[in-house]
Amino acid sequence: MYPRTVLSRREPSGFTLIELLVVIAIIAILAAILFPVFAQAREKARAISCLSNAKQVGLALRMYMSDYDETLFFRAHPNPDATRVHVSIPRTDPAYNALQWWNLLMPYIRNHQVFTCPSDGTPTLSPDAAGNLVIRRSLVADVAAESLSDAQVEFGADTIVITEKWGVDAGGQVIDEPWMDMLDGDMSPDPRDLERYPLGMIATRHNGGANCAFYDGHAKWLRPSVIGASRDLTGCRLVHYYPTPRMCDFTFPACTRTGITNLCNNPAFFPYP
């Protein structure tokens, strides 16, 4: 007699609808968790690259000053009262472009990309020494140490020379200035966007802070709140000791920049030691 064959029930293959929905839900949850992490990691890498650029700019600053009697470059400007050397350079002068600070540093850097922040979506197209708009600039120079020497700058490690700038302001207007003047409102908050513009022109693209190149050549990330609270980081100490008619604080009777936009009018900065 033949044995009875036990017929087993065949299980269905594949996912059920509920299982598929559960898998999709899990993937969506993981994506929601991981994508911001990936974005933060990418931005962190960009911030590190930008800081590296700032460090190269700082080293170029020191090499430039070593070649020019330990003195920083001056501000090429049509108004002689805006500079410490009292030299007027009209914008139509062929030398105007060559005297811009980034072109003065170019022989020591030889790389246009150093002046561009990887996180800056609106860098300013700036001229090279020949006037060609080929440099995508995310940086701006501070007038505080303009034309000063090592003997005059006592706190070089706290003196910002180059920092990051916004490409446009809160109203969408292009910010293309080569120099930042704390006496002209460039460091004053923009009332249209106080969160994004805590110190006016200074860009806070990297976790609420900006990368800065200092007079002594080092580079560092700083929050605007730290900059604005310091008489040295703002440059106001240097402005007080080495003023021009436009570059001064309210202690100078003949100062032409004594309004509320003059950051150096901060009573907390006085008296200077």
Give pLDDT tens digits for 157-194: 999 999 999 999 888 889 999 999 888 778 877 777 76
Give the 3-state DSSP-derived string for the chain, with helices as H, strands as E and coil as C: CCCCCCCCCCCCCCCCHHHHHHHHHHHHHHHHHHHHHHHHHHHHHHHHHHHHHHHHHHHHHHHHHHHCCCECCCCCCCCHHHCCCCCCCCCCCCHHHHCCHHHHHHHHHCCHHHHCCCCCCCCEEEECCCCCEEEEECEEEEHHHCCCECCCCCCHHHCEEEEEECCECCCCCECCCCEECCCCCCCCCCCCCCCCCCCCCECCCECCEEEEEECCCCEEEECHHHHHCCCCCCCHHHHHHCCCCCCCCCCCCCCCCCCCCCHHHCHHHCCCC
Q: Is the pLDDT higher at 5 or at 109?
A: 109
Of 171, 174, 212, nearest to 193 (Cα)?
A: 171
What does the pLDDT average to over 53-81?
A: 95
Tell whether the model's pLDDT for residue 91 goes beyond 80.
yes
- Taking the C-alpha atoms of residue 52 and residue 124, their distance in angstroms, rounded to an integer, is 20
What does the pLDDT average to over 111-118?
A: 95
- Taking the C-alpha atoms of residue 72 and residue 58, their distance in angstroms, rounded to an integer, is 12
What does the pLDDT average to over 119-130?
A: 95
Confidence of residue 253 (pLDDT cuts 50, 70, 90): confident
- Taking the C-alpha atoms of residue 31 and residue 199, their distance in angstroms, rounded to an integer, is 36
Tens digits of residue pLDDT in 3-61? 555 555 555 566 677 777 777 888 878 777 766 655 566 778 889 999 999 999 999 99
